[in-house]
Amino acid sequence: MQIDLLQEARRQAEICNACRYCEGYCSVFPALHEERMFTDGNLTQLANLCHNCRGCYYACQYTAPHEFDLNLPKALAEVRQDSWETFAWPGPLAHWFQKSGVLIAVATIVGFALLFLAFRALGSSGGEGFYAVLSHSAMVTIFLPAFLFPLFSIGISLRRYWRATDGKSVKMSDIFDAFVSAARMKNLAGGHGDGCNFEDEDRFSQARRLAHQAVMYGFLLCFASTSVGTLMHYLLDMPAPYPLWSLPKLLGIPGGILMVLGTVKLAYLKLNADKDLGAPSAWGGEMAFILLLFLVALSGLLLYGLGNTAAMPTMLAIHLGSVLSFFPLTPYTKMAHGFYRLAALVRDAQRKSKA
């Protein structure tokens, strides 16, 4: 990891530890105030525990023009981003995505979409609905490795993170506490539950928390829809396409709508927030990730709406291209932050149980 980023984060953490004004703001400060000396592992854990709500910055009396020039949200955001790049596997891909995320995402989607259109030009596969464009066996052959790769990659990354932060053996109670905190997104509600002032210094809002929840629960609904469809296909001999009132559609359509609404709101918030309170070098990669999720959800909804029209093959190619781009890029996009954040919450649950 970059030494200068860690040194700056350590300097600011030591000042915060002496001040303690922000003790009740979020989970970062109780964890910070337990330390007397900040190792690289301590700082990496604190950085991944931080949700960048920015409330501590706006409340701080030592921000610029004070000589201490504190900007803890930015310092932790830069350490956090650097940790993702350091622990990522294969490593160089993470740096490339953060540097040129939008270009890589667009190029990958267009490339895969053109590939699927080329399959279409070779002729129908003889199936029904979407499978008339690309057979079920071909979809499985293409997407199964693309789905397994990020799981393997993120598994390696989290193992590196756990070692770097001196992680201990995990109890089920710690995992349960971490999942409850993640499900509620408690730390995005601010220290007193009023929300955070991510985009506006003078206004506390739950908007960022709700947008994150919309994306998270929308993604989980879409994943559940795909999982149910897979079980129906293989166990019940009920292949797609499925009618509107089937379980895959009842899960997938609300999930897609939530993802579209959540990503639009997140993009709006990021466009209106102060870039200097985050990691400026990661801004493009974060926006690329939001764009990618938005396109996955929107193309899926449009594909359902256009399923019986001549536009279906083209929309299917765009949707499959965006989905196929999403999976291999997951370890290097901000999607990975969910796994790191969950690991950080588990480590924090261990700290609390030890205390």
pLDDT, tens digit only, all 355 positions of the chain:
677 999 999 999 999 999 988 887 888 998 998 888 899 999 999 999 998 888 889 889 999 999 999 999 999 999 999 998 899 888 776 666 666 666 777 777 777 777 766 666 555 555 555 555 666 676 777 778 888 998 999 999 999 999 999 888 889 999 999 999 888 887 787 666 677 777 666 677 888 899 999 999 999 999 999 899 889 988 888 877 788 889 999 999 999 999 999 999 999 999 988 889 988 888 877 888 898 899 999 999 998 888 777 777 788 888 888 888 888 888 887 788 889 999 999 999 998 887 6
DSSP 8-state assignment for residue 170? P
Please give the pLDDT value at position 244: 85
192, two tokens: 């007193």
**Helix, strand, or coil here: 196?**
strand
For 234-274, give the DSSP string: HTS--PSP--TTSHHHHHHHHHHHHHHHHHHHHHHHHHHS-
CA 13 to each of CA 3, 70, 295, 301, 324: distance values in angstroms, whole numbers, following the listed order: 15, 9, 39, 46, 41
Please give the pLDDT value at position 17: 92
Please give the pLDDT value at position 44: 96
Please give the pLDDT value at position 351: 87
Nearest 10 degrees: CA dihedral of 13, 14, 17, 21?
A: -70
Vertex 275: Cα angle to 269 and 279 (nearest 5)? 110
Nearest 10 degrees: CA dihedral of 159, 163, 168, 173?
A: -40
Residue of 355, 347, 17, 51 whose CA lies nearest to 174: 347
d(CA 318, CA 295): 9
Residue of 26, 24, 43 whose CA lies nearest to 181: 26
The answer for residues whose C-beta is within 8 angstroms of residue 354's C-beta and 6 or more apart is none
Please give the pLDDT value at position 198: 72
Cis peptide before 241 (omega within 30 of 0): yes
Cα distance from N-terminal residue to C-terminal residue, the chain: 29
Please give the pLDDT value at position 39: 93
Please give the pLDDT value at position 68: 95
Helix (H) or strand (E) holding 229: helix 207-234
The answer for residues whose C-beta is within 8 angstroms of residue 38's C-beta and 6 or more apart is 9, 10, 13, 14, 46
Quote the pTM value: 0.87
Please give the pLDDT value at position 156: 94
For 17-78, give the DSSP string: HHH-TTTTSSTHHHHHHT-SS--HHHHHHHHHH-----HHHHH-SSSTTSTT---HHHHHHH
d(CA 153, CA 170): 21
**Helix, strand, or coil here: 125?**
coil
DSSP 8-state assignment for residue 331? G
